[in-house]
Amino acid sequence: MATSFRNALVNDGYYMVQYSVYARLCNGPDGAEKHYERLKKIAPSTGSIRVLSVTEKQYASIKIIAGEKKPPEKESKYIQLTFI
């Protein structure tokens, strides 16, 4: 069940931020709401899913405490972004 949910997330454009934490770039609040509705449809009947929307500026302010830094991600062509 978990593997099929993970595969559905990856197929819908999500990427793993860390173990069991996935993020997806959305073009504004309407796009975020659309993907929230998609998540509700594919969510497994067991487990717990939490959705948090943050702006691009908020996401960029994340500080890494453990682990090695990775190369910077590609710049996005979008002006207003919301993560879900």
Residue with the larger pLDDT of the pair 65 and 82: 65
**Hey, which residues does 83 pair with through a beta bridge?**
25, 54
The DSSP output letter for 36 is: H
Mean pLDDT, to the nearest integer, of 41-62?
89
Q: pLDDT band at 12, cuts 50/70/90? A: very high
Q: pLDDT band at 79, cuts 50/70/90? A: low
Average pLDDT over the chain reads: 85
pLDDT, residue 76, reads: 59
Whether residue 77 contacts residue 27, with contact meaning beta carbons closer than 8 Å, is answered with: no
For the chain, give the number of residues: 84
Distance CA 64, CA 40 (A): 30
Whole-prediction pTM value? 0.68
